Amino acid sequence: MRKRRFHILLQFATLLLPFLAASQTVPDSLEGLLQGPMHDTVRLHRYFDLVTANLKPNIAKSLQYADSATLLSQQLKDERLTQLSGYHHGVAYRFAGKYSKAMEHLGAYRAFCEAKKDKAGLANALFQMAFIQDMQGDKEMSLSTYQKALSINRELGNRKAEAEALSSMGEVFQGMNQHEKAAALRLEAVNILEALKDTVALGNAYNNLGNTYRHLKDFDKAELYYQKDYELAKRTGDEFAMGYALHHLGRIFRLKKQYERAEQLLLESLAIRRKLGHKTEIVYSLNGLAQMYNDQKRHREALGLAKEALELCRSENIRSQEVNVLSLLSEANYGLGEYKESMDLYLRRTELRDSLMDVETTNQMAEMDARYQASEKDKALKISELENQGRKLQIAWLVALTIALAALAGVIFFGLKNRMRANHRIAEQQDTLRQQEIRQLEQANQLTALSAMLEGQEQERSRIAADLHDSLGGLLASIKSHFNAAPPPNADNDIFEKTNAMLDGASTEVRRISHNMMPRALSLSGLKGAIEDLAQDLERQGLSCQLELIGLDDLPLEPARSVMVYRIVQELTHNAVKHAQASHLLLQAIRHEGRLTLLVEDDGKGFEVGAARLKKGLGLSSVESRVQFLNGEIEWDSVQGQGTTVSVTMPING
């Protein structure tokens, strides 16, 4: 079965499918394979083959086989096979134009493959989903999904699938009228397939590339690739494909106004199609010829062909082509001076087109409705999930713990096993390394953005603090000295004192704000001094604070990192005082073998760490992003009613 048919069908996807049964041959030989006794798994795979084989010729049958496959796989109670049935079901739905159902199945299969790390399966699912996204008009999404499928296939070295993805991306660009991009992608696909010598796929690719160049009005290149397609089809004896190639070549010559050559090619194509008895294709050929004759003002000949085409359309119910045929008939009649007839035909054409569009619109509405229902269901599901989450949290912790232990055991087991098969693993390891590199790069990018943001924030704070402190603080101090040196002559003592007190209050306030923004002590007396000040401040607020700073003299910490460490301590102690309402605090910073370990422990209320993380409250996220900036690790340990212990450990140099 040539994939070609499918690509041409795309143009009429939803409309044409029901009428295909009559014009295409059903793979009888395959159905015969279902006869007789066989293992269920074998039967299941036969079903899969039948789903695939019937996609284009008889989608109803394909769906039936998909149902059978799903039933059988459920009986077999094999998760992988059930999922695979789901995938086939999804593909069948896709061809039937039932996109929301198709997406459900394919989405499930995708998730399954992701979980099982089945990359080939994942690429297949993505490929199918991208096609649907394209059909649903979400071109950007489709391209990005194709791109994922493409990357996976490249990684797997699956050249043919890579070419298919490239070709399909070309299809999307073509739909967006970006024919240059389409041409580039399709050319890449052709190059791959030429190297693979995959004649079937290569034929499709030539044909697609020809179409793109035709859109670009690069008729010479279009001709070149249609010609290549023709030669390939001829060599493999694929008459169906030959029919298409000749038809396309004929069209190109018509567009080049080389009518003689065009006529010859179109007639040849028609002859082949008549021989094969493919009604839809015969209509295409008749239309192509009629159009050319109209161009040449050979209206009488055009009229004859178009009439034949119209009869075929009616008898075979090929309604989408009927619109074209009526146009051609109208045009021919006009050329012959039969204006009334021409007008009637034109009106009939318009009427038919509108009714077909109605059908299409109705279908689209139904599809949109189905999608809406699905998304509503999704929403409801998510809400109930969220509601459950809270309750499940505790269980989740236990489960997570168990999973973590199991995973650890698994890692140890596999570690031993793998050591014995070291040679076998080199390739895999390289692969993992590459992925790790990618992940690290991504992380590095995120980190760069994060540090830029955090550093910018600190710079800004520093600037504001300096402004406040120097300008406003200095001004207040000098106001006070001026005021004291030359008090207003009539002011009584009370007002004088009060004004002085207010000036002092203002100075203290400016000092406090600027200190919180950026403690000068940090740059002058270092992290140790700044933390000592912080502890002293806490004591002044009535907290008992146990301070243990070890090895912090001459700490070789970059200023930017030093500020971050200070902020972490500031935030954690702030939490202890404000949220936990602690009365005793242990504040520890220990330098040991190139690492700095901070510990802030309070005797406050404590909190639910998991819940707080979800809410991202309590300045947790600001602490965590700073820890990330410092390339460190953080651990929250809180017991309600007992207190909270937070420990952070980081390398001193980056």
- Paired tokens of 146: 């194709």
- Tell me the per-residue interface mask from 407 to 426 with another protein, x by CB under 8 A, - otherwise: -x------------------
Contact (Cβ atoms closer than 8 angstroms) between residue 348 and residue 310: no
What is the Cα–Cα distance from 193 to 198, expressed in whole angstroms?
6
Residue 478 buriedness (CB in 10 A; 0-12 / 13-18 / 19+)? exposed
What is the Cα–Cα distance from 229 to 203, expressed in whole angstroms?
5
- Paired tokens of 388: 């459950």
Of residues 444, 456, 635, 653, which one binds another protein by CB under 8 A? 635
In the sheet with 633-639, reading across from the earlier edge strand, the strands are: 544-550, 584-592, 595-602, 643-651, 633-639
User: Judged by CB, which is closer to another protein: 337, or 542?
Assistant: 542
User: H/E element holding 314?
Assistant: helix 299-316
User: Judged by CB, which is closer to another protein: 385, or 637?
Assistant: 637
What is the Cα–Cα distance from 572 to 80, expressed in whole angstroms?
49
User: Judged by CB, which is closer to another protein: 374, or 477?
Assistant: 477
Find tokens 């002859």 and name the residue: 271
Beta carbon of residue 515, minimum distance to another protein (angstroms, whole number): 7
Of residues 38, 271, 404, 452, which one binds another protein by CB under 8 A? 404
User: Judged by CB, which is closer to another protein: 69, or 534?
Assistant: 534
Of residues 94, 201, 643, 648, which one binds another protein by CB under 8 A? 643
Beta carbon of residue 623, minimum distance to another protein (angstroms, whole number): 17
Beta carbon of residue 607, minimum distance to another protein (angstroms, whole number): 15
SS3 content of the chain, % helix, strand, coil (to 5): 80, 5, 15
* Number of residues in contact with another protein under rule CB under 8 A: 62
Contact (Cβ atoms closer than 8 angstroms) between residue 208 and residue 186: yes
Q: What b/e sequence results for 482-516 when a residue is b if at least 16 CB atoms lie within 10 Å of its CB, and e otherwise?
A: eeeeeeeeeeeeeeeeebeeebeebbeebeeebbe
Binding segment (CB under 8 A) for another protein, from list 79-87, 131-139, 167-175, 504-512: 504-512
Binding segment (CB under 8 A) for another protein, from list 172-180, 331-339, 356-364, 632-640: 632-640
- Paired tokens of 440: 């690290």
* Residue among 195, 171, 196 nearest 185 (CA): 171
- Tell me the per-residue interface mask from 461 to 500 with another protein, x by CB under 8 A, - otherwise: -----x--xx--xxxxxxxxxx-xxx-------------x
What is the Cα–Cα distance from 154 to 228, expressed in whole angstroms?
26
Beta carbon of residue 449, minimum distance to another protein (angstroms, whole number): 29
Of residues 111, 550, 611, 614, which one binds another protein by CB under 8 A? 550
- Tell me the per-residue interface mask from 564 to 593 with another protein, x by CB under 8 A, - otherwise: ----------------------x-x-x-x-
The answer to the question of residue 401 lying near another protein (CB under 8 A) is yes
Contact (Cβ atoms closer than 8 angstroms) between residue 18 and residue 280: no
- Tell me the per-residue interface mask from 507 to 546 with another protein, x by CB under 8 A, - otherwise: x--xx---x---xxx--xx--xxx-xx-xx--xx---xxx
User: Judged by CB, which is closer to another protein: 355, or 478?
Assistant: 478
**DSSP assigned state of 472:** I
**DSSP assigned state of 607:** -
User: Judged by CB, which is closer to another protein: 411, or 452?
Assistant: 411
Catalog residues that contact another protein under the rule CB under 8 A. Answer: 397, 401, 404-405, 408, 466, 469-470, 473-482, 484-486, 500, 503-504, 507, 510-511, 515, 519-521, 524-525, 528-530, 532-533, 535-536, 539-540, 544-548, 550, 586, 588, 590, 592, 597, 599, 601, 635, 637, 639, 642-643, 645, 647
